[in-house]
Structure 1
Amino acid sequence: MFLKEKIFLGIAVSAALPWIVSFLLSVQYAPYVEALISGIAIVSAAFLLSWAAETAEKDLPRSLSLAFVALIAVLPEYAVDLYFAWMAGKVGGDYIHYAAANMTGANRLLLGIGWSLVALMAMFKFKSREIVLDEGIRLEFFILFVASLYCFVIPLKGQISIFDAAVLFCIFFFYLYVATRAKKEEFEPVGVPAYLCCFPATKRRTSVVLLFLFSGFVILISVEAFAEGLVKTAKIFGIDEFLMVQWIAPLASESPEFIVAIYFIRRLRTTASFNTLVSSKVNQWTLLVGCLALVYSIALGSPSELPLDERQKEEFLLTAAQSLLGVAIIINLRFSIFEAFALLILFLAQFVYHSVEMRYLLSFLYIVLAVPMLLVHRSEIAKSYRHVMGLLR
């Protein structure tokens, strides 16, 4: 019983061992080899963290488990980004650019690839040209709508300030508070967490703690090597360092969430699948953005604004515009095959031409498409607002 789950758990732990041994023995590799081995270790740690967090839900009060899992789940995604933010405060230079690059890449990848592909898979699974989501996901969409509107202010100012961080933290923790009052699905572990939940209480809790400690250790010893390895690899092969940090690093940290979402689709739980991706988007668009300014200030030793150059302002605007369209598309709890392909094609279009004009054009297209849809569905926005207020009563 649970043979497949035991194999998955063994693979995840084993995949991190080469970098652990290399780190402890101070083995030196070429930058691209170092980035690969440490990157695999981070992906492994991300899977172990997600499994441990889901298993922990069995032993925690529902409200506490929600906050706990939400915070734990984002650690692998934030590790590289916060490293760059820290180095931006300590060293400055290109590290300032890299911090924003990783954040915008993670956000756009999650929506442009994650949402669209999961929707298309669900449509294929249900043999339908449209999927319908449950009312319970209105909270996530409303919070994402508010955060997306606020984030348009940041590229206009050209900086992420401590005030911005405070506002975004308030949005995130308001989301957590309201979510604890929402009616949730009964806890139903699947995969590796289902295997771990079969353990007696003491053994299960010990296993969860060990998985957290092991994953945290792996991330701690891997993040610098992975981040620096990516930058050096880009320089060696003449690749744009900004693009390497923007897309390769998020691919590594986002992969477990995509797999969890796909697993939910296979179990015909479409709303649960989208809830995984939308919650992650809320986390990244509020907590992550705010943490950049906070960590940068701590590294500098005083409250400071994380500056955005012209390229970063363009990327931030594009990310905010994409987020707004994402909300506009499914604020009515329906996602059509046309809308899924539109999100995917617009996301892929940015790789055709790497120019200032292309980034502004795409931002314009996202906004031009989003605004009429939001106006048409303004009653849905009001309905989502009433849903959130109802949860507070």
Structure 2
Amino acid sequence: MGYLRERFQILFAFTLTLPWLISYLLGFHYPPHIEALLSGLAVLGSAFLLSWAAETAEMDVPRSVSLAAVALLAVLPEYAVDAYFAWMAGKVGGDYIHYATANMTGANRLLIGVGWSLIMLIAIFKSRKREVELDEGLRLEMFFLLIATIYAFILPLKGSISVFDSLIFVSMYAGYAYMITKAPHEDFTPEGVPAYLCSLPAKRRRANVVAYMLYAGAMIFISVEAFSEGLLGTAENFGIDSFLMVQWLAPLASESPEFIVAMYLVRKMRVSAGLNALISSKVNQWTLLIGTIAIVFSIAGMHVQPLPLDARQREEVFLTAAQSLFATAIILDRKVGVVEALALLSLFCLQFVFPTVHARNILSVIYLALALPMLYRHRKELIETVRYVRTLARR
């Protein structure tokens, strides 16, 4: 009875999707909070299935394809939720315009503030060292994360995300996806459920991968509207700020599998693989996710139009960019210590302790005040990062 735990995990992931699948097929209707719960569980289960299938696929597809595809598939649930809000923003406008930005900024800040910091702390604890050293290959992610962050500061200044901005961000992702195929990477060593799937005969393994992807994609498609609208209805019924519900709860459901997979890798002492996964996800979200919302918004509205940012959204985008700059400055020397990881976590938590406009602005300034001196101190590492990317480009 080998891989018993892994088989149970697969069964559990499928089980999470069944209540909503049955409800959807039979046309059952629930109060908003029940609908959000059931459809959210379906998104969660689908996210696990996608993550496992994508990693297993690395065994059968060319390395140049799998590197970019795996990272993209892992964050597909988050893209689906944000795309829904952007689509509705283009169709009906109103508060949906705010929700599209809220979901994007929340997903990015959550990934760094909780994901990066906790994985770094676990890695330091497991290695029993004062700091962990990151792979040389992460210089590629650092480079694109930095240029995307610098460009992102323009958005709150002009008060919108235009289709031109989208093309810039999507081009950054395309450049990253191309360059990552040339970079050296850790050999593919599956763990957990992917290890079980890779142990299957080739035909059965490939059939499972395709089935998981198709099933998860279909479940996300039939769940995303109910999940998104259920969150809004729950917020209204219980007197909760709908902006905060969309900003934090939606990304938490769609991104938790990434955190869990990364934690599993670090616990298995595959520190580089765990950190690489979350840092790559941040590059994807900070380029492709922010880049697609204005395009979806324009398609839904049937004409080219910028996604407007009001005062609240400008603050949120600026704060997200400031946090991203600080996080990039931390990893630029490829060493992360306890103090730096705790700084990421504690500064992230402060926005909930002091949830005011003034506090968000002060927090943005704190991020910048910490990041800029670190960037200057690590300027030689920054030059080495640029050289590393140029070397890859010549290959």
Q: Same fold (TM over 0.5)?
A: yes
Q: Write out aligned runs for 1:40-55 (5 A).
A: 40-55=41-56
CA distance in structure 2 between the aligned counterparts of 1:375 and 1:7, rounded to whole angstroms: 50
CA distance in structure 1 between the aligned counterparts of 2:145 and 2:388, rounded to whole angstroms: 14
Shift of 1:142: 1.2
Aligned to 2:242: 241
Aligned to 2:157: 156
Shift of 1:70: 2.6
Aligned to 2:276: 275
1:123-174 per-residue CA deviation (whole Å, 9 max, x = no partner) reads 1112222111121111111110111101001111110001101110111111
- The answer (yes or no) to whether the contact 1:162–1:294 under 8 Å persists in 2 is yes
Aligned to 2:131: 130
CA distance in structure 1 between the aligned counterparts of 2:19 and 2:161, rounded to whole angstroms: 38
Aligned partner of 2:138: which letter?
A: I
Q: Write out aligned runs for 1:143-292 (5 A).
A: 143-292=144-293
CA distance in structure 2 between the aligned counterparts of 1:62 and 1:132, rounded to whole angstroms: 25
Shift of 1:67: 2.5
- The answer (yes or no) to whether the contact 1:122–1:265 under 8 Å persists in 2 is yes
- The answer (yes or no) to whether the contact 2:36–2:227 under 8 Å persists in 1 is yes
Aligned to 1:139: 140
Aligned partner of 1:307: which letter?
A: P
Report which stretch shifted further, 128-137 or 23-32: 128-137
User: RMSD over aligned Cα, in angstroms?
Assistant: 0.8
CA distance in structure 2 between the aligned counterparts of 1:346 and 1:191, rounded to whole angstroms: 33
- The answer (yes or no) to whether the contact 1:137–1:271 under 8 Å persists in 2 is no
TM-score normalised by length of structure 2: 0.98
1:81-136 per-residue CA deviation (whole Å, 9 max, x = no partner) reads 11000000001000000000000000000001111111111111122221111211
Report which stretch shifted further, 203-212 or 319-328: 203-212
- The answer (yes or no) to whether the contact 2:236–2:242 under 8 Å persists in 1 is yes
Aligned to 1:329: 330
Shift of 1:68: 2.1
Shift of 1:78: 0.9
1:301-324 per-residue CA deviation (whole Å, 9 max, x = no partner) reads 111100011100000000000000
Shift of 1:289: 0.4
- The answer (yes or no) to whether the contact 2:102–2:247 under 8 Å persists in 1 is yes
CA distance in structure 2 between the aligned counterparts of 1:247 and 1:109, rounded to whole angstroms: 8
Aligned partner of 1:234: which letter?
A: A
Identity %: 59
Shift of 1:65: 1.4
Aligned to 1:18: 19
Shift of 1:17: 0.3
User: How many residues are matched?
Assistant: 393
Report which stretch shifted further, 70-79 or 37-46: 70-79
1:243-280 per-residue CA deviation (whole Å, 9 max, x = no partner) reads 00000000001101101111111111212111101000
Aligned to 1:339: 340
Unaligned runs of 5+ in 2: none
Shift of 1:217: 0.9
Shift of 1:381: 0.5
Aligned to 1:109: 110
CA distance in structure 1 between the aligned counterparts of 2:357 and 2:51, rounded to whole angstroms: 37
Report which stretch shifted further, 62-71 or 102-111: 62-71
1:311-367 per-residue CA deviation (whole Å, 9 max, x = no partner) reads 000000000000000001110001111111111111000001221111110001100
CA distance in structure 1 between the aligned counterparts of 2:297 and 2:77, rounded to whole angstroms: 18
Aligned partner of 2:149: which letter?
A: S
Aligned partner of 1:56: which letter?
A: A
1:187-234 per-residue CA deviation (whole Å, 9 max, x = no partner) reads 111111111112222211111111111001110110001000001101
CA distance in structure 2 between the aligned counterparts of 1:121 and 1:204, rounded to whole angstroms: 32
Aligned to 2:37: 36
CA distance in structure 2 between the aligned counterparts of 1:16 and 1:128, rounded to whole angstroms: 40
Decide whether aligned partners of structure 1 residues 172 and 189 sit closer, same or farther in structure 2, where only a CA change above 3 A counts: same
TM-score normalised by length of structure 1: 0.99
Q: Write out aligned runs for 1:291-310 (5 A).
A: 291-310=292-311
Unaligned runs of 5+ in 1: none
- The answer (yes or no) to whether the contact 2:107–2:247 under 8 Å persists in 1 is yes
